[in-house]
Amino acid sequence: MDSTLLRAFVATADAGALSRAARDLGLSQPSLTQQIQRLERHLGAALFTRHGRGVALTPAGQTLYPRARRLLDEVLATEQAVRREGTEEDRPLRVGAIPTIAPYALPDALRRLRAREPALRVEFREDYSATLARLLHDGALDVAIAAMPYAFDHLETESLGSDRLLVAVPASHAAARVGRITLAQLRDAPAITLDPAHCLGEQVAGFCASREVLPSVVCRSAQLATVLELVGADVGVSIVPALAATRHNTPRCAYVPLAEHVLQREIVAVWRREAARPPAALAFVACVRDVVRGW
């Protein structure tokens, strides 16, 4: 629907008279009348009734008015956002990542980005998925790196690759010698888990519950590094991302797959829906994708 015609309609409804609306819009009255008539032909309904020196909305006009207002407000907000993006070329790139990805993927990705864009400034935020989603909604981040499954409502996700989940066991554990661990062994072992505020912690808890694996939890941690250190200290076992296992390479831990089950999570870039994607953000995501696919 033509926004020019909607502006003519709203201005006429607000003014209550064609002559006054034409003056407010800087148009001649015949030109304004033609615009109103074009809109009425397009909709197949009369929008105004004429009386004396003024006009009044018909039932069809009353139905259109609040919707036309919202559409024009959205057009204005979009124009302002685009202009603002166009004038903010010098602002830093604002990126976020969840704690179970940030220390393992971001350093390499940012090194690659710096090689491509040496003058680019980057502001980084590490936080839980829920917080990053809110910051994206509010426009405080350009893009976030997170993992599925997580319900990023009203946001768009772009797959960057998958990350296998392994079971971290002490080097002395029987599974370390065999090179795999069974569900029965997982049930019997004390567990070290991430706090459910982490989407990984929630994913692992969901998998265990669906397989009736209810191990004795001896520690819940907010940090994956703490989890791995405790596994190495023979406190228990934990399900962890392969990317963390690769970086946390210590002889005190072994990382083994779960027999007869393939566990993995999908790494994603999260964007504001229908928002412009700055070239610097696209370059950053490409660097993260290269790192993820190189694991």
Identify the CA nearest to 64 among candidates 19, 13, 4.
13
Instruction: Please give the Cα distance from 167 to 242 (Å, whole number).
Output: 9
Q: Which helix (H) or strand (E) holds 167?
A: strand 155-170
pLDDT at 294: 79
Q: What is the DSSP letter of 237?
A: B
pLDDT at 202: 65
pLDDT at 59: 94
Q: Which residues pair with 276 in a beta bridge?
A: none
Q: Which residues contact 231 (CB under 8 A, 6 or more apart)?
A: 168, 169, 170, 192, 237, 238, 252, 253
pLDDT at 142: 92
pLDDT at 3: 86
pLDDT at 207: 64
Instruction: Please give the Cα distance from 95 to 140 (Å, whole number).
Output: 9
Ordered mean pLDDT values, 10 residues apiece, the chain (295 residues): 88 90 87 92 92 88 92 81 60 88 90 90 88 87 87 86 88 88 81 72 66 68 84 86 83 86 86 86 93 80
Spell out the domains of the chain, with CATH numbers in brackets.
3-86 (1.10.10.10), 91-295 (3.40.190.290)
pLDDT at 215: 63
17: its two tokens: 């008279």
Instruction: Please give the Cα distance from 16 to 3 (Å, whole number).
Output: 20
Answering whether pTM is above 0.75, one says no
188: its two tokens: 């019997």
Q: What is the DSSP letter of 161?
A: E
pLDDT at 206: 67
Q: Which residues pair with 95 in a beta bridge?
A: 124, 143
Cα→Cα distances 148→103, 106, 227, 242, 252, Å:
18, 17, 21, 15, 30
Instruction: Please give the Cα distance from 3 to 180 (Å, whole number).
Output: 64
Instruction: Please give the Cα distance from 100 to 90 (Å, whole number).
Output: 30
